[in-house]
Chain A
């Protein structure tokens, strides 16, 4: 149980285009999901907290208009990198918290999505 699926696992796009990454909780409901960015050999950097039915909460320094987050249902959050540039190339990972086990504070992670912007 507690599987989080991310899609696509890797994507290559041209500079100036937009890319959408999906994060799905497959066997549980998640009102809250988190989006992270990870640079090579570094730890995860929290970008934003995605809340179902309301606006995402962005961390300081993260551009809201660049990284659009939509949490349309209790099992799906999407991250759209708009007008992508080479510096947006990175590994993006999502995590989710099981609503029924929210008090445990346990996080479940997707497999990550590697974005390369040419």
Chain B
């Protein structure tokens, strides 16, 4: 059974810092991995989707990497801003869709 974990569970940083969020999964037989952000009381906004054949994807200040063999993905956020404050969730797609518990990020002005 696929298990997805995210470290850290919560993170608080000053504005401008570069930061890394981690997502680990136990079964490397996946088709893809997707990163989302969720604002309080809201649905999920898709950030990046990485197919199993890809190593990374970039969108603006966000860069996501995927190392399928080691069961890890990282989301890199450059020059963080207060507007980046949210919960970040990773989701793997293998036998089914499995979400991680999320990382709550606070970027302080």
Contacts and interface: CB of A to CB of B under 8 A. Distances in A.
B49 to A, nearest CB: 5
Contacts of A6: 43
Contacts of A58: none
Majority secondary structure, B binding face: strand
Nearest to B96: A46
Contacts, number: 50
A104 B46 CA distance: 13
A106 B100 contact: no
A11 B43 CA distance: 16
Nearest to B104: A41
B38 to A, nearest CB: 9
Contact of B51 (A43, A91, A104, A111): A104
B35 to A, nearest CB: 11
Contacts of B36: 109
B68 interface: no
B93 A105 contact: yes
Interface in B65-108: 89, 91, 93, 96-97, 99-102, 104
A33 to B, nearest CB: 12
Given A43-B89, A104-B32, A105-B32, A110 B43 contact: yes
Nearest to B4: A43
B44 interface: yes
Nearest to B31: A105
Contact of A112 (B41, B51, B96): B41
Contacts of A34: 97
Interface in B29-51: 31-32, 34, 36, 41-46, 49, 51
Interface string A50-79: 000000000000000000000000000000
Contact of A108 (B31, B32, B46): B46
What are the nearest 6 A-B pairs in CB distance?
Answer: A109-B44, A111-B43, A105-B93, A112-B43, A109-B43, A43-B101
